[in-house]
Amino acid sequence: MASTAGTVAVMGAGAWGTALAKVLAEVLEGAPEENRAPDAEIRLWARRPDVAEQINATHYNPTYLPGTLLPPRIRATTDAADALDGVTTVLLGVPAQTLRGNLEQWAPLITDGATLVSLAKGIELDTLMRMSQVIVSVTGVDPSQVAVISGPNLASEIADCQPAATVVACSDSGRAVALQRMLNTGYFRPYTNSDVIGTEIGGACKNVIALACGMAVGVGLGENTVAAIITRGLAEIMRLGIALGAKGATLAGLAGVGDLVATCSSPHSRNRSMGEQLGRGATIQSALEGKDGHVVEGVTSCESVLALASSYDVEMPLTDAVHRVCHKGLSVDQAMALLLGRSTKPE
């Protein structure tokens, strides 16, 4: 018997949260009426009242996902209690470094037994925790209730209904399959995986490597260089992931190689485009100011990823170079020279 499609909360109305809210609403709308709960909707929590008001009034989110018409089953709200009331599936779409603070406020409002889904890609700065660990730490839920969605998923392309695939990782296969069904459309294909660690490490590290690729392009280097950075970046990600207990197959799949290639190659990638700006001589501050409030996770993640790698005695020279540019005043030219000057060794 088919499960009943019900209300889902998406906490965060940025580009990715809004794009997934659209996917969820389309699947909900397409469910047979007898398998859809009465008044089922997708509740989209927005931090900014103007964003929520515009979504409800016009069915557009021009601030974060311009040009995309949103289904009427999406209802935006700035009231977390309203968004979370009675909901058993919660997608957490706020930036990685704000997840803990937001969850501390939301935890008392979350329904017992709910599935909590991390959409953020990062490592928490102070604790070096992955996002699923932060969720467990704050809410006290069993780790089996926590899932992660990650993959080569540029929000603007998914909003345009371009074919894409993603990974839904959860140690509870039943919850993973339920999420898979909620997100499965003709253009968006979710694959399930039990390797939460690998899925998260791939997502957190790829933003840092994308910054490095952008820097290389910004200083005028070509496709050979970018390919080398992507390949050696993957080697860094694999070393760290396996040290933490990830499976190599996960990092060779959508959540690893797939996400890495998309983020390092696309002009729509905020991390890649910021790296290009830095390579052309922009300062960190001026480049961030040009993002209009959009978070560039790699700028912070390079610091926490490097610290995590150091704690496991894992060498990550590309990540170290990006960290020095972003936080230690090293120029992009100096960073490239350092990388090219490393001693040669077997691959």
SS (H, E, C) 288-318: HHCCCCCCCHHHHHHHHHHHHHHHCCCCCHH
pLDDT at 294 over 80: no
Q: For the segment 60-112, what is each residue's pLDDT rounded down to a tens digit?
A: 999 999 999 999 999 999 999 999 999 999 999 999 999 999 999 999 999 99
- pLDDT of residue 327 exceeding 50, the answer is yes
Q: Is 196 annotated as a binding residue?
A: no
DSSP state, residue 257? I
Greatest extent of the chain over all pairs of C-alpha atoms, in Å: 65
- Tell me whether residue 271 is annotated as binding: yes
Is 47 annotated in a binding site? The answer is: yes
Q: What pLDDT, on a 0 to 100 scale, did the predictor assign at position 2? A: 47
Q: What is the pLDDT of residue 274?
A: 93
User: What's the whole-number mean pLDDT along residues 315-328?
Assistant: 95
The whole-model pTM stands at 0.92
| Mean pLDDT calculated for residue range 193-214 | 96
* 118 three-class SS: strand
pLDDT at residue 293 greater than cutoff 60: no
According to CATH, what is the number of the domain 205-341? 1.10.1040.10
Is 202 annotated as contributing to ligand binding? no
Rounded CA-CA distance 287/275 in Å is 9
- How far is C-alpha 184 from the chain's CA centre? 18
| 206 in a labelled binding site | yes
Tens of pLDDT along 175-185? 999 999 999 99
Whether 35 has a pLDDT exceeding 80, the answer reads no
State yes or no: pLDDT of 232 exceeds 90. yes
3 carries a ligand binding annotation: no
- Percentage of the residues of the chain whose pLDDT score is greater than 90: 86
**In Å, how far are 65, 155, 163, 189, 329 from 160, measured between CA atoms?**
10, 9, 9, 15, 39
How are strands ordered across the β-sheet holding 188-193?
A: 74-77, 42-45, 8-11, 89-92, 115-118, 146-150, 164-170, 188-193
For 177, counting Cβ atoms within 10 Å of its Cβ (0-12 exposed, 13-18 middle, 19+ buried), the class is middle
342 labelled as ligand-binding? no
Active site residues: 206
pLDDT value of residue 39: 87
Query: In this model, does residue 3 exceed pLDDT 60?
Result: no
Domain residue spans of the chain: 8-194, 205-341
**155 annotated to bind ligand:** yes
Band (240; pLDDT cuts 50, 70, 90): very high
CB atoms within 10 A of CB 162: 11
Residue 1's pLDDT is 35
Tens digit of each residue's pLDDT (9 = 90 or more) over 99-147: 999 999 999 999 999 999 999 999 999 999 999 999 999 999 999 999 9
Rg (CA), the chain: 20
Query: Looking at residue 268, what is its pLDDT?
Result: 86
Q: Which of 212, 232, 231 is nearest to 221 (CA)?
A: 212
Residue 14, annotated as binding a ligand = yes
CA-wise closest residue to 266 among 307, 217, 231:
217
Average pLDDT, stretch 322-333?
A: 94
Q: What is the mean pLDDT of residues 243-248?
A: 97
Burial 76-90 (b: 16+ CB within 10 A, else e): bbbebeebbeebebb
Q: In the CATH scheme, what is the code of domain 8-194?
A: 3.40.50.720
pLDDT tier for residue 33 given thresholds of 50, 70 and 90 = confident
